[in-house]
Every structure is written in C-alpha cells, then in structure tokens.
Structure 1
Amino acid sequence: MTTPRRSLGAVLLLAGGLNLPALAQAPDSVYRIGTVEITGNRRTQPFIITRELDLQAGDTLHSRNLAARLERNRQRVFNTTLFVTVKLTPVRTAGQVNILIEVKENWYIWAGPVFKLADRNFNEWWNERDGDLRRTTYGGFLYHANFRGRKEKLRVGIQTGFSDRFQVSYEVPYIDQQRQTGINVLARYLVYKDLAFNTATDKLLYTGTQEIALKREWQGLVQVRRRRGFYDVHRLELGYTHGRIADTLVQLNAEYYQGGTRLQRYVELAYQFSHDTRDNVNYPWQGLVLTGGVRQRGVLPTDDVRILELRAGGGYYCPLAPRWSLGLVSSLRVSMARQQSFNQLRGLGYEEEFLRGFDLYVINGTAFGLAKSTLRFQLWKGIVPLRFIPVKQFNTLPLSIYPTVFADAGYVRNPYSGREIGSSLANQALASAGVGLDVVTLLNTTVRLNLSRNSAGENNFFVNLQKEFVLN
C-alpha cells in the first residue's frame, strides 16, 4: 500500500541513531496512528514483527516521548536477530501519523562445512594444546534461522574428528494464536574418542587416545517456552540422557561415573524464568536481564543421578555518558547431592561462566559465585558499505570498537577437591583485572582481546569469543 507522506521532522532511527528536530519544537503535540506499514520483509511473516510492537493503528503518540518509544520498539524488532538493520519512521498525513517500519533481512539459510576447536576456548587450545589441529571437529551443517518466515529454527549437524556428533533440533516460537507459547525439540548422539577424565592443577586431564570410543551418549530434550508480554519468558523442559563409558575411562577415574559404574541414565526436569530489557542481547549498552531457575537431574526411582541444582544470574548495563557504559554481570549456582560424579561437577571455566585472566583454568565444584564489571568506551560505531558484494545481506558490514577496563571476582566451593591432583584455586577468593578491546561485527560476532592480571600473580593476553551473558 502506498500512502502520501510528509515527514514529521526527518525522523530516522537506525542502529540507535535519532534525529527529531521538528518534534522538539512541539513538545506537547499528540498524534493518532493511522497505519503501521512494514517493508523489506520478503520472507518474514508480518506477525513476527508486530509481535514485538507496543503500538498499533488507533493508538496515540505524544511527541514528548515519541523518540524513546520508537527506539524501544526498534530494539525489540532488532533483537529478533532476523534483520541486519531496522528503521522506524513516523510520517504525518491527513491529520494522523503512519508508522513505516523498514527492515533489511539477514541471510537465513546456512549450509556448509564445520570446523571447530574441541577445547573450551581458543586460549586453551593455543597455549595448552600447542594449537594441535587433531583437537578439532569437522563436518557439515544445515541451519535455517527463519523457516517458513515464522522465526522457526531448524538445525541439522554432523561432525567427526576429535569427537563424533549428530544433532537435529526444531524450534517453533509460537504454537498458539496468542503468540505466547513455543516449543523446542532436540535429539543428539555423541561419541568421544578422547575426553577429560580429571583435573590437575585446575586444568583438564585428557586420556590422549583417539583409537576407541571412550564414551557414547544419547540426549533428548523437549522445551516449552511461554513468553508473556515483551520481556518475561518462562521455560519448562524435560530431558533424558543415556551415557556409557569404556573400561579404560573407569580405570583412569573410578568416579567419572559415580562408584566405578560404566552406565549413567537419568531424566531431568527444569524450570527457568528470565526478564530481559537489554537494548541488544548480543552486546548490550543499557538495560537489565535477570534469570533464575531450578533443575532436578534424576526424577525417576531408577535414575543413576540425583542432583538438585539452583541457578540465578543477572546483568545491568548503564550508560554513564554519551559514549560510556558500565556493565555489571553476576552468576550463582548451587548443586545439592550426597555425592557427585566427575562428569556432573561444573564450576568456573566453562562456556560464558569464567573469570577473565583465568581462561586456561577449570575450577570444578558444587557451588560458585561470579561477578564481572566492565567499563566500555564507544570508540567507533557504524556500518561499512561493501558495494562490491552483490548479495544485499552481505553488502553492509556493521562494525563497532570498544576499549574496555574490567575487574572480575569469583569463588568456587569444591568438597571433592581431594579427588583432583594439586587443586589450588577452589575454596578461595579469586580476582582479576585488566584492559581490553571488544570488536563487534557481522552476525553480532564479538571478538574480545584482553590483557589481564589475576590473583594468582599471572599476567596474560587472551582472545575469546564468548558472550558476556547467555540465557540457557
């Protein structure tokens, strides 16, 4: 539909930019929304976009808060991760305002080779494993991030090399007319030819063999997701894990599976709540995220595991000046059981839950607390045109550069430290501080270069790609 348009002051919102000169001259004006028009969504169904909006035809807009409201809606649409850019423009015509939403869609279908490091992060692989290319997995994958234009996600992957993996999952964000309830189904089969069987001096010990299958594991998961409003999400999941290990692994560590057994089977039930108002889920500048949950591993009387796990976490991001922002992140986990096998022990050093400056260490335990603080300066942010690339999803390169100053602190409680060899970091206060450089670019990838000093007296330079806070 084409409508005659007269600008309300060259209103433009693009990646956080805002210009409202005309409206500033009329702070008390009230406008009625005539239409909400969406352009650029060649594949995405309109309801996926309108689900994120708190404005519709017939609503009224006050000029005094128009900028903030449009930017809030732009951020919600952008956080679907379906679009490269999102613009919201109010256009006055015949005594009312039409809202024009212009989106530039991402590339949704990915298929190709897989090449990944088997170690926890690049630093461990480079410093502790001498960059050994045998410690990699390779294969192929198919991923559709917007199947049927409904934000449904289809993933199929096959990998071999250091370990074998086959995985398929399908996620439907909304299965009801109210667009509040979604479902995710996953099945995974894993074969490990080499894996960590214990720790020494808070570093993982590997078997060093790739000739036989040391561990086979089947996993299945069904998750129901309930999203109320815009910011609150409830997740309820039911999973099953069936693992079997070889005698070689039992001989190396009789507590890998508790009591020297070769079999571990259990059903798990989990609930998680999250409240997320971050302006950008991949690299937030302002907003709040809170999460909490409970997980019971071992539901049936015949299950081989019986662990109750409680989790809580949060992140607060506060702009201090036009180009400065402070980020505070915390995480807490407590697992309760009479005894825990080695494969169930998790502390700091895995995925996003690690202390900067301790990247080479895993500090296992039954409970941990973590706090991170980061002061960031926006040195440069913009979009670099790549006109020589004909595919529109790739002919613009978002690029942002942020120098940082950070300080982290944490503690891990490990009542089983006697099982390990020379553990020195558990059961004591840990801290680190340093400076870094964050580079945010295509597909919301963030490369972090950190120079740090930790409470163990070590000076380090590390590179990592982990996100600051992830909702599990």
Structure 2
Amino acid sequence: MPAVVVADINLAGNETTKGQVMLRELTFAPGDTIPAEALEPLLQENQKRLVNLRLFHHVNYSYTCAEGQVRVTYEVQERFYLYPIPIFDFADRNFNAWLEKKDWSRIDYGLNLILRNFRGRNEEVRVRVQRGFNKRLELGYRIPYVWRKYNLGADFSVADYRSRTISYTNLNNKQRFFEQENGMPIKRSSVSAALVHRQNVQRQSGLRLSYFNEQISDSVAFLNPEYYRHAQRERQYTRVELYRVINLRNNFAYPTAGSYFEAALGQTLFLEKSGSPYTSARAKYVRYLPFWGKYTYMAGAEGQLRLAGRHAFADNIALGYRSYVRGYELYVVGGQHYGLFKQGLTRQLLDIKSIKLTFIDNPKFNNVPLALYLNAFTDAGYVVDDVFGQENPLTNRLLLGSGVGLHAVTFYDIVLRLEYTLNRESDTGLYFSARFPF
C-alpha cells in the first residue's frame, strides 16, 4: 500500500493563537508515515478538532505532495475573543416561568465579560457582575495546561449570590416563593478549584473541590424548617467531585453526528453538623446518527442518584431546572433520583455559511452564518422522591412530552429554539430557549 511522510505542518491566520495550542490538538506530526488513502480523512478529522476548539470562525486545509513528502497547511479565521455580553434576563428558571407572573421587577441586568484565548493559550477569564432581582458576582479562570508533560490544566472560580426571593417549597409541582423587600432571604458564596486532565479537546477528566457557605432568613426557616433541616439558618459544606467527559460530536454547538458521554461521582460533607452527608452520581450519554441526506436522529439518556441518610429540601433538585422533559417547563419535579430519555428527528432546512455585512469592516464580525433545523421530538422522565413528594403529584410518575420545533444556529455558536409541545397532562405550550436541547 503506498504511503506518504508528513514533512511539515504550517499554520496560517493565527495572529493571536499560539501555534503550539493548535498543534497539540492534531493527531499527526511531522515525520509520521500515513497510508495515502488515509491522508484526506485524517486531514478532515483534524480540521474538525480545530473547529471544536471554538476559537475560529472557520478552518481550511491544503497540502502539497512531492516525492512522497507531504506539506500540510491549516488556515484559520480567528474569532473576536473578548465577549462583553450585556445581562438582561428573567429572574425565573426560564422565559415561560417568568411569563406566568409577568412581573417586570423580576429582571436581572448587568455584564458578563468573557475573555477567551487569553495570552493566545486558550485560557479563559470570566467576570460576571449582575444586579437587579438576583445579584451575582462571579470570577473564574481556566488554564488548559499548567503541567504540559501530563496534560494537566486547572480551573478556579469564586461566586457570591443574593436574591430578594427564595423558592422555599414546592406545591403541586409549582415553586412557592417568599419575597423580602428589605434584605436578602438567601445568600450563597462559594470557592472552587479543579485539576483537569485534558487529553485533547474531546476527552477530559477532572477532580473538583468546592466550598459553600449558605444562609437563609428566619422567615424562610419558619416557613419550611426542612429547607436546611431542623430550622437551621446557615450551613457550610465541602464537595469533592470526580468527572469524565468524552465529546465525540462533529460540532459542539449543534451536533448532527457523533456521541457525547459524561459521568460524575461526588461526595458532599457538611461542617459543624450543619447537614447530613450525601453521595451523588450522574451520567449522560447521547448518540447522533446522520442518515438520508439532511436528516439526523438523536437519542440519549441521563440520570442521577443521590444517596443520604437524611435529605434537606435545598438539595432536592431533579427535573425542571437545567434538565427537564419538554412540555413541563412550567413545573418543578424535585427528588433524590431521576432518569431522563430524549429522542428527536432533525431535518436541516437552511445552511448559509456566511451573510456578508458590508457596513462592518472587521472580518471577525462581518460574516454571519445561519442554519435552520426542523425538529420533532419525544421526551420521557421519571423522578423518585421519597421525602417531599406527598404534595407534588408529578413525582414518582412517568412524565411524557412531545412536540415540534424550529432551531436556529448563528453567530458565535448561538442556538435559539422555538418549540410547540404537548405533555401527558394534556398541557400544550409554545416555549423559547437559547441552548441546545440535549
């Protein structure tokens, strides 16, 4: 079988990004011998790896071959790496939960500042200053490599959260709020540090250590003595979590092929006898199967186990926040354990690689991609709650939802979803979201 030797790898367009950051992601290096028929698939696969760094608008490659020697060039168009994102958001779990109240005082505002590719080394600095109904201050710093020999990186963060309201219990799977005009009924601060083993952009493992301090007002402890248990007003705890992520999706923003796996095991220990220790485990697996032209089938599942001698209401989180059965966006289904299954069939309607904005000179902003997808889906979920489920009929019951949606993917990996759903309770609704469904 004829073979070629990689004589050289050249990079172009990376004015900010260090060449070593890109070269570390490649699965081949100068001096490697490659079967001739495998060269093109290899270059395409590595093109996807560079795209999934999410540092570039596009990545192209070219090569020359003479006397069995191949010289490869990857040319990139860098993104703008400073993201000053204004915060104007609803203080509730999602837009439709806010729409039920239509209370314009429940608005958050501020600035979320993200500096990606700091120093050209794919480092990230995060600053969030949020005011309004919920007040947040968050600082974070991620370093892909602190010990290159062993592919070890680190992630640090500190956060402070305060709110004028608190969901102190659930009744009929609806949150019940206590609002305090003067003062904050809940305060939460945290410090977190993680050591990350980063094999590449697709495979990462980590060990995270976090410390939390939480306080509630006397009124909250009176309304629900089991919020922290025994009418406590304050608790401190540490959490150790070991996690693993294998992300083999063809596109991290809106995948149409590949697979995704993540799993985590954590232990939470309370200080000064402020709670009962618990062990948590969670896992998620999703498969994306392209077939028949522009169609993609997606199927995946995730689950959680939380094992403790005694449970506090504040930790009784299952479906209704980040994870939920579509069609139940207006409900909260708390519990100790849950399972969630999702499947969907997607058809690409439109794929415009670039809409040229002639009134903008900067190439990092004047080319806007736009892709539209039609999606039909069914979801199923089940939550086990042996402690707080008596007055919440959706717990310990199979949840079913289905519907159709229109998804848009555009500038800087922004995903927008508009979905019409029907659930097992015969509720229908039109829901909006700004993230990938699974």
By the TM > 0.5 criterion, same fold? yes
Give the stretch that moved more between structures: 110-119 or 451-460.
Answer: 110-119
How is 1:356-395 mapped onto 2 (pairs within 5 angstroms)?
Answer: 356-383=326-353, 384-395=355-366
* Equivalent residue number for residue 224 of structure 1: 195
| Counterpart pick for 1:92 among 65, 68, 78 | 65
Stretch moving more, 460-469 or 212-221: 460-469
Is 1:31 aligned to 2:4, yes or no? yes
User: 1:191 touches 1:216 (CA, 8 Å); kept in 2?
Assistant: yes
8 A contact 1:272–1:292 mirrored in 2: yes
1:355 and 2:328 are equivalent in the alignment:
no
Structure 1 gaps, min length 5: 1-27
Whole-angstrom CA distance in 2 between matches of 1:299 and 1:162: 29
Give runs of ≥4 in structure 1 deviating > 4 Å.
299-303
Q: Deviations over 1:214-233 (max 9, x none)?
A: 11111000011102356432
Partner of 1:304: 275
CA distance in 2 between counterparts of 1:275 and 1:392 reads 33
Q: 1:302 to 1:258 in 2, by over 3 A?
A: closer
For the Cα contact (< 8 Å) 1:267–1:303, is it kept in 2? no
Residues 50-449 of structure 1: pairs in structure 2 closer than 5 A: 50-93=23-66, 95-111=68-84, 113-126=86-99, 128-130=100-102, 132-178=103-149, 180-228=151-199, 231-298=202-269, 302=273, 304-351=275-322, 353-383=323-353, 384-418=355-389, 422-449=391-418
Cα distance 1:56–1:39, how it changes in 2: closer, same or farther (>3 A)?
same
1:199 counterpart SS class: strand
- For the pair 1:455 / 2:427, whether they are aligned, the reply is no
**3-state DSSP class of the match of 1:425?**
coil
Query: Is the 8 Å Cα contact of residues 266 and 305 (structure 1) preserved in structure 2?
Result: no
Shift in CA distance, 461/140, structure 1 to aligned 2, threshold 3 Å: closer
SS at match of 1:107: coil
- The CA distance in 2 between the partners of 1:146 and 1:342, in whole Å, is 40
CA separation in 2, counterparts of 1:158 and 1:190?
Answer: 10
Q: Whole-Å Cα distance in 2 between the matches of residues 348 and 418 of structure 1?
A: 13
SS in 1 for 2:220: helix
Contact 1:226 1:233 in 2 (8 A): yes
Greater share of residues in strand:
2
Tell me the equivalent position of 1:9: none
Question: Which SS does the other structure have where 2:111 is aligned?
Answer: strand
Range with bigger deviation, 273-282 or 238-247: 273-282
Choose 42-51 or 170-179, whichever is displaced more: 170-179
Contact 1:51 1:179 (8 Å CA) reproduced: no
Cα distance in structure 2, aligned partners of 1:142 and 1:205: 33
> Residue 457 of structure 1: CA displacement?
1.1
TM superposition shift of 1:283: 1.0
Aligned in 2, Cα 1:138/1:230: closer, same or farther, shift over 3 Å? closer
Letter in 1 for 2:159: R
Report if aligned partners of 1:371, 1:410 keep a CA contact under 8 Å in 2.
Answer: yes
Deviation at 1:204, TM superposition (A): 1.3
Could you tell me whether the CA contact under 8 Å between 1:417 and 1:426 is conserved in 2?
no
Give the Cα separation in 2 of the matches to 1:416 and 1:76.
46
1:409/1:112 CA distance change after superposition, 3 Å: closer
- CA distance in 1 between counterparts of 2:344 and 2:181 reads 41
CA contact (8 A) 2:52 2:201 kept: no
Give the match for residue 8 of structure 1. Answer: none
User: How big is each residue's C-alpha offset from its partner over 1:107-130, in whole Å with a ceiling of 9 and x where there is no partner?
Assistant: 11123632222111112112x222
Q: Give the secondary structure class of the aligned counterpart of 1:248.
A: helix
Deviation readout 1:282-326 (Å, 9 max, x if unpaired) = 211111112211111116675534111011111111111221111
Paired with 1:374 and 1:71, the residues of 2 have a C-alpha distance of 27
Query: Which secondary structure does the structure 2 equivalent of 1:207 belong to?
Result: strand
Partners of 1:327 and 1:394 lie apart in 2 by 32
- The 1:147–1:305 alpha-carbon spacing in structure 2 relative to 1, beyond 3 Å, is farther
Deviation of residue 200 (structure 1)?
1.9
Counterparts of 2:177 and 2:4 in 1: how far apart (Å)? 66
Output the CA distance in 1 between the equivalents of 2:168 and 2:22: 47
Between the aligned partners of 1:63 and 1:326, the Cα distance in structure 2 is 33
Identity value in percent: 29
* CA–CA separation in structure 2 for the residues paired with 1:164 and 1:301: 27
For structure 2, the residue ranges without an aligned partner over 5 or more in a row are none
CA deviations on 1:399-458 (whole Å, 9 max, x unpaired) are: 111111111111001112356xx4111101111111111111111111111111111111
Offset of residue 462 of structure 1: 1.0
CA distance in structure 1 between the partners assigned to 2:101 and 2:321 by the alignment = 17
Structure-2 separation of matches of 1:306 and 1:417: 18
Shift in Å, 1:254: 1.2
CA shift for structure 1 position 241? 0.3
**Structure 2: which amino acid aligns with 1:219?**
S
TM-score, with normalisation over the residues of structure 1?
Answer: 0.89
Query: Contact 1:411/1:427 (CA < 8 Å) preserved in 2?
Result: yes
Displacement of 1:328: 1.1
Distance 2:156 2:223 in 1: 35
